[in-house]
Amino acid sequence: PVEVVPGCLWWPGWFDRPAQEALVVALRQILTEAPLFVPRMPRTGKPFSVRMSNCGSLGWVSDETGYRYQPFHPESGRPWPAMPATLTALWAQLAPDAPPPEACLINWYDPAARMGLHQDRDEEEFGAPVVSVSLGDTGVFRIGGTARTAATRSIRLASGDVLMLSGPSRLAFHGIDRIVADSSLLKQGGRINLTLRRVRPA
């Protein structure tokens, strides 16, 4: 892998095209059971440009009352669908010493969507890594340090790429500046990012 910043490892092209297509098939089934929702910012209620869903025992949600992990879909109230075996196997391969992932956040980027610079700190467990899988259009990913003002580096996350954040990068500021429409994986365009997370201590 490529070490982007200390603790942030990048495997370009981890999943080949057939594996990417199989993941999209599995995700489309998940999204029929747990449809994409529009998260909203705490307090202001301003909508995110990214739509989201989850699979696994817990899912990340955001609304006017705050950010949190919960075991059910915010609109249907139904439990999240199970995580595909391909993803639990990826986690086991990259993080053999960590307890299994509880949440897989599914971020769906339409061509104009972006995600501002932020830290992921709603988990109770920061010792485990976060593992991310990118599918579809390329995302321009920016990552810095644990202070918002630290210098940042930018990489282009393409379809099939895997990124693992651990150690010093686990609480780094990061975001997606923009999407580049360059992939034929999703017929209508767009980008999917999956993040596997351990939420609670084992």
Residues of this chain that interact with ligand MD5 (CB under 6 A) are 105, 107, 115, 120, 130, 132, 139, 141, 143, 163, 165, 169-170, 172, 174, 176, 193, 195
Residue 176 binds which entry of ligand MD5, Fe ion, none, with Cβ cut-offs from 5 to 8 Å by kind? ligand MD5
CB of 22 to Fe ion, least distance (A): 25
Cβ distance to Fe ion smaller for residue 132 or 138: 132
Residue 59 binds which entry of ligand MD5, Fe ion, none, with Cβ cut-offs from 5 to 8 Å by kind? none
Amino acid identity for residue 83 in this structure: M
Cβ distance to Fe ion smaller for residue 33 or 142: 142
User: What DSSP line would sit under 133-194, residue for residue?
Assistant: EEEESEEEEEE--SSTTS--EEEEE-TT-EEEE-GGGTT--EEEEEEE---SSSTT--EEEE
d(CA 12, CA 132): 12
CB of 105 to ligand MD5, least distance (A): 5
Query: Judged by CB under 5 A, how many residues of this single chain contact Fe ion?
Result: 1
By CB under 5 A, residue 120 contacts Fe ion = yes
90 with 131: CB under 8 angstroms? yes
Residue number with the smallest Cβ distance to Fe ion: 120
Cβ distance to Fe ion smaller for residue 102 or 120: 120
d(CA 68, CA 143): 23
Report the number of secondary-structure helices (H) and strands (E) in the chain: 2, 13
Residue 199 binds which entry of ligand MD5, Fe ion, none, with Cβ cut-offs from 5 to 8 Å by kind? none
Two tokens, residue 118:
């932020």
Closest listed residue to residue 197, CA positions, set 32, 50, 74, 67: 67
CB of 143 to ligand MD5, least distance (A): 5
**Interface contacts to Fe ion, rule CB under 5 A:** 120
